[in-house]
């Protein structure tokens, strides 16, 4: 693994001279705030040794803060839990050159879904042989880029993809592939992210013979090397049991494929979807509990089937990036309508569409000043022209909340910036990293000039 120097900004943001005890522990296994979070006497919070309100002043709002040490610690947790497996960070959660560097330095592989993500990984110097390419509808450019860069695995999602991919592989070369199967396991926090069941766009169902047909077609392509199976059950899965069920369905499939074709496949990718906590008390998946249960079940099922245990791959994305990120907003307006109090901020669904898409609920905290005012339930809303532009419903904020205040939203490191848009021509926010009391910019704010430069019509 290639080593990189850890670059630091020369600018340090000072903290208050003394710190209060850490925030109370969460009642669930998954913390809402990064482990480095500390309360300051001023009423502010510090993450990575840097005061959040000072970050809001320095980088503007809305903006995102990522705790580098939290990312690294969470990546290391998976490597420790599964030392004999491949841990592939799911780049769709959040990807930047610096994030890619952190992931490589921690010994992880990388899971990508497009030519754009592939090119960014190449620009960051990530080893292509440790990259896995997914996608239910890979474009010719996606496939050509993957082959040009020499990615380690391409996940075949449909039978029609097989001849298209084989035709692009250069003569004399072989591309390693996995087949994505649907094990018929319903798991995930919302119907839109349950990908392990039939009747959705991903993969080939075990029931019906589609997998056997795809395997036969791949084995008939001399430029493709089938090395195993892949599945992904969904997102925000807090229990290990759905993964156990998947293993119990996938190992017999491996045995049937061995009996049909005389081939034993050496790899099994169980995907990701591991839950994190967004609010106090939310359940989260424990990697060590997952590792113990899944490796034990895999060994048991393979012994029953007379198969060698395949090398396991898992794909945590949200679990690594989500709790490491904090979103910062500035209050623009406060008003009461009927029996509801609305607190409007300078961001919204353009930088976090998840509440509108999935009904996700977040923690919100006032930072930058102390308040003795009693808390009251409010609805934090965005600035966009949608009634559904709601960031957090019925959260408790001080009764004296006012324009200019800074609000912090933890567990914001995954699927915020990566899903952001330019709705209402509001530019996407910047991303800053914090560690050891210092902050540095990773991704700059998208400006109006950036947006105008794309409009080339008269």
Catalytic residue annotation: 385
Q: Cα 304 to chain center, whole Å?
A: 35
Is the CB of residue 246 less than 8 Å from the CB of residue 197?
no
| Bridge partners, 176 (sequence order) | 225
Report the C-alpha gap between 295 and 312 in whole angstroms: 8
Q: Which residue has the tokens 């967004």?
A: 278
How far is the CA of 151 from the CAs of 94, 109, 161, 218, in angstroms? 20, 11, 17, 18
Of 196, 198, 267, 180, nearest in space to 236 by CA = 196
Is the CB of residue 150 less than 8 Å from the CB of residue 131?
no
First to last CA, the chain: 50
Given CA atoms 393, 397, 403, 405 in this order, what sign does their dihedral have?
negative
Report the C-alpha gap between 361 and 383 in whole angstroms: 18
Q: Which residue has the tokens 């965005």?
A: 382
The angle at the Cα of 231, spanning 226 to 232, to the nearest 5 degrees, equals 145
Of 101, 38, 90, nearest in space to 319 by CA = 90
Q: What's the alpha-carbon Rg for the chain, to the nearest Å?
A: 23
Report the C-alpha gap between 252 and 259 in whole angstroms: 11
Of 34, 108, 30, 38, nearest in space to 66 by CA = 34
Report the C-alpha gap between 41 and 20 in whole angstroms: 6
How far is the CA of 322 from the CAs of 44, 227, 276, 446, in angstroms? 21, 31, 7, 22
Given CA atoms 219, 223, 227, 232 in this order, what sign does their dihedral have?
negative
């Amino acid at each position: 693994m290639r080593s990189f120097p850890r670059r630091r900004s020369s600018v340090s943001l000072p903290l208050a001279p003394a710190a209060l005890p850490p925030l109370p522990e969460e009642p669930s296994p998954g913390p809402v705030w990064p482990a480095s979070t500390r309360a300051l006497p001023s009423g502010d919070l510090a993450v990575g040794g840097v005061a959040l309100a000072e970050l809001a002043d320095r980088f503007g709002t809305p903006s995102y803060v990522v705790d580098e040490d939290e990312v690294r610690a969470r990546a290391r947790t998976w490597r420790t839990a599964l030392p004999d497996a491949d841990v592939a960070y799911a780049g769709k959660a959040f990807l930047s050159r610096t994030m890619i560097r952190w992931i490589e330095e921690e010994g992880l592989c990388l899971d990508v879904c497009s030519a754009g993500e592939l090119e960014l990984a190449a620009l960051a110097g990530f080893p292509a042989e440790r990259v896995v390419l997914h996608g239910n509808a890979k474009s010719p450019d996606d496939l050509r880029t993957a082959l040009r860069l020499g990615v380690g695995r391409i996940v075949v999602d449909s039978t029609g993809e097989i001849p298209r991919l084989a035709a692009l592989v250069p003569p004399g070369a072989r591309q390693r592939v996995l087949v994505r199967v649907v094990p018929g396991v319903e798991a995930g926090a919302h119907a839109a992210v349950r990908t392990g069941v039939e009747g959705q766009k991903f993969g080939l169902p075990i029931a019906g013979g589609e997998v056997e047909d795809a395997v036969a077609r791949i084995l008939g392509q001399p430029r493709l090397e089938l090395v195993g199976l892949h599945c992904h059950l969904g997102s925000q899965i807090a229990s290990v049991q759905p993964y156990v069920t998947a293993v119990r369905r996938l190992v017999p499939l491996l045995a049937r494929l061995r009996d049909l074709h005389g081939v034993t496949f050496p790899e099994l990718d169980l995907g990701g979807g591991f839950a994190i906590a967004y609010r106090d008390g939310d359940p989260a998946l424990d990697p060590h509990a997952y590792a113990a249960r899944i490796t034990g079940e895999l060994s048991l099922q393979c012994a029953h089937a007379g198969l060698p245990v395949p090398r396991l791959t898992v794909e945590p994305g949200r679990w690594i990036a989500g709790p490491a990120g904090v979103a910062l907003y500035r209050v623009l307006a406060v008003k009461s309508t009927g029996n509801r109090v609305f607190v409007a901020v300078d961001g919204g669904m353009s930088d976090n569409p998840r509440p509108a898409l999935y009904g996700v609920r977040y923690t919100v905290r006032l930072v930058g000043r102390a308040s003795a005012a009693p808390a009251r339930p409010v609805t934090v809303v965005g600035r966009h022209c949608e009634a559904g532009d709601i960031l957090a419903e019925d959260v408790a904020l001080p009764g004296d909340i006012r324009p200019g205040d800074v609000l912090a939203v933890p567990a914001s490191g995954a699927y915020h910036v990566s899903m952001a848009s330019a709705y209402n021509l509001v530019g996407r926010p910047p991303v800053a990293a914090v560690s050891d009391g210092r902050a540095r910019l990773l991704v700059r704010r998208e400006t109006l000039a950036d947006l105008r430069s794309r409009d080339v019509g008269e």
